[in-house]
Amino acid sequence: MTFKVSAFLTAFFLCTMLAAQPASYAVDLLPATLRSEANAVRRYRHIRYDVRSAESIGMQFTEAITLLNGNARGFTTLVVFYDKQTKIRSLGATVYDAQGKVVKKYKEKDFRDYAAQDGFSLYLDDRVRALEVAAPGLPCTVEFTYETENKGLLAFNTFMAFPTTQFAVEEDVYEVKAPSNYGVRHKSVNGAPEPEKLSDGTLRWTYRNLPGLPDEVLSPPLDVLSPMVLVAPNTIAYDGSTGDISTWENLGKWNWGLLEGRDKLPAATVEKVRQLIAGTTDTREKVCRIYEYMQQRTRYVSIQLGIGGFQPFTAEEVDKTGYGDCKALSNYTRALLKAADIPSSYAVIGAGDERQIRYPDFCSFGQANHVILCVPLKNSDTLWLECTSQRQPCAYQGDFTSSRLALLVDKNGGKLVQTTHYTQLQNKLANTYTFDIKGDGGAVATFHSNGYAVASEDYEALMRYKGAEADDWLALNFPVANAKVLKHNVVGKDSTVAVTRLSAEFTMSRLATAQGQRLFLSMCPLKPLSTPAIGGKRKLPIEISMDKLQTDRFEYNLPAELRVDFTPEDKTLETPFGSYTRTVRKEGNKLVTERSFAIRPGMYPPDQWPALLDFLKKVNAADAEKAILLLGP
């Protein structure tokens, strides 16, 4: 599943000359290939790590970005993290106008000091120095520099060419100098070059003259498209703890060391667990009873302090306070299951759309950001428990952590395993509608929808909304066009199956349009699938990550004075991207449409884009087909 993304990028080459800062940042010196379709261009970046020992590492950073338009406004800000391990030694910024003339210079004291707020943690060690420069007008160039001293590093910054789409790179250099006994591992992916080795042992990687990635829908994420170099140490020294993280196996073993002995529970809780599981011999039943008990007793709070960024609170602590983060809650649940003689594994994972353990052959911290619990059953099923959620049904992962690798932490070494993949048949959205057609072509209707597995998450947000917020959500997301929802009800969390049920009453102003004695009736009155308005040749590969099946049953109650003159022919579409069927039948005095639309996951080369668009347009055309009813005898 590799695509020649490098074929799209202009060729870049290793340069044996010393990496040099350009003489001028004048915007008209930018080659046209870098300027077109870019919101910003990195004129020059130099990152250098000087590893003197595992406990003494210096880092120097310089970056100059030319902002071409308002979309690049995020690049006027620099945020530098520091904590007990990291000290900032210098900070500076310079702003240049379009001609490359210095407009303003900022000093270290212009960078304000804040506590790092990640948006959900209650306590963090991290602090930041931050500065937002004022742009003198567009285009302009902003240059930031800083230096840090680290008492130990967990990871080297990933050398990623593109932080976003529509961002070009002119000259980009990354260097690591380390003693031979320190052990630096590296991996170049997505077309990034291998390093040159300089005479003093420095490893140097260079990107040069890379045009930006266009903004195209359904493309793979940036960490698949952007040339990237991963760099990681073999050993880490952190907050008094040292560890071998040279392989996932060793990382798993080091992480186990942080968990050891932290699973003791008070006697009362152990007794409670025994009571919970009494009366059943089914292991899955026991796991779910314990999981639901844990869900009711605890809530998620994120606290990252020093090694606490990696070491969970003890199970006793969670039992007493009733809160913890993903590490603590997973460890606590593990302790509860242990009290019931059910073995489970603390599992480190990359969660959400943006993070995943992608490289089983390259271990680095940056690939993971979450912890869940893995419970293997004797019948070779595996239950994955999301311990931070109070709502989630037992053993339902959702697409937060499904279909990817997890590292099971174990005292004999970590092991990478694949989490659940929810298939189309599981991710089903089943909708039924009934319509009472009015004389003016409008309709009064009902809607019932059951969303299973990943499809159940579609209605998660609505479950939390009331009043105007719920109305807004429905106006945006209700599947029928021109509908006004009068009332709705949504329930979720069936204890054994992930399913959310939404029911609604709504009216439509124009379900049928009259022309003379004829009434044209929409047989699938859904909002059309959106297709891009701007045509043109696609450059990026296509990635469809959905694996979803939607079934719709539309029942039209026909008044006595209308008779059916014509119903659309059956329609079937079959493509690699998905399939579609639609039939219309008369059932007594009802017209019934049965529709089924399935999307399959896959990666396709850009030349398949017209075929995918054609499929979506054919679905829209089939949905838009009308039946003809006649007024009168």
Partner 1 sequence: MDLNQTQINGIHSHLTLTLDASGNVVGEGDLTFNDYGAWAKRREIAKAGSEKAFLEAWAGDKSGIELSKSEIAPLDSNDMPLKIHLQGSFNGIVEQAGNLLLVSPWVLDQEKENPFTSATRDYPVEFNYPTVKSSTVKLTIPQGYMVESLPKSLKVRLPDGSARFTCNVGQQGNVITMTSVVTTTRTLYTPEEYADLKSFFQTVVDKELEKIVLKKA
Q: What residue ranges bind partner 1 (CB under 8 A)? A: 69-71, 510, 513, 515-516, 520, 528, 530-536, 566, 568, 613, 617, 620-621, 624-628
Q: How far is CA 406 from the centre of its chain?
A: 16
Strand duo 302-304 + 299-300: pairing: unpaired
Shortest spacing between CB 514 and partner 1, in angstroms: 10
Nearer to partner 1, 286 or 571 (CB): 571
Nearer to partner 1, 60 or 608 (CB): 608
- The pair of structure tokens assigned to 509 is 């102003």
Q: How far is CA 95 from the centre of its chain?
A: 34
Give dist(CA 503, CA 507) in Å, integer. 14
Which residues partner with 237 through β-bridges? 242
Nearer to partner 1, 271 or 472 (CB): 472
Shortest spacing between CB 432 and partner 1, in angstroms: 24
11 CB-contact burial (10 Å; exposed 0-12 / middle 13-18 / buried 19+): exposed
Shortest spacing between CB 506 and partner 1, in angstroms: 16
Shortest spacing between CB 596 and partner 1, in angstroms: 20
Give dist(CA 168, CA 43) in Å, integer. 9
Nearer to partner 1, 301 or 564 (CB): 564
Shortest spacing between CB 437 and partner 1, in angstroms: 16
Task: With beta carbons less than 8 A apart as the criterion, state whether 479 and 554 touch.
Answer: no
What one-letter code names the amino acid at 632?
A: G
Nearer to partner 1, 4 or 563 (CB): 563
305 CB-contact burial (10 Å; exposed 0-12 / middle 13-18 / buried 19+): middle
Shortest spacing between CB 536 and partner 1, in angstroms: 8
Nearer to partner 1, 546 or 628 (CB): 628
Hey, is 331 helix, strand or coil? helix
Shortest spacing between CB 613 and partner 1, in angstroms: 8
Nearer to partner 1, 17 or 534 (CB): 534
Shortest spacing between CB 428 and partner 1, in angstroms: 26
- The pair of structure tokens assigned to 564 is 């059916």
Shortest spacing between CB 507 and partner 1, in angstroms: 13
- The pair of structure tokens assigned to 213 is 């990635």
Hey, is 144 helix, strand or coil? strand
Instruction: Give the Cα-Cα-Cα angle 574, 575, 578 (nearest 5 degrees).
Output: 85
Nearer to partner 1, 340 or 613 (CB): 613
Q: Which residue has the tokens 């271990």?
A: 363
Task: With beta carbons less than 8 A apart as the criterion, state whether 499 and 490 touch.
Answer: no
Q: Assign residue 123 a region: left if phi > 0, alpha if psi is -120 to 50, beta otherwise?
A: beta
Give dist(CA 374, CA 391) in Å, integer. 18
Nearer to partner 1, 88 or 523 (CB): 523
Query: How crowded is residue 444: how many other Cβ atoms within 10 Å of its Cβ?
Result: 16
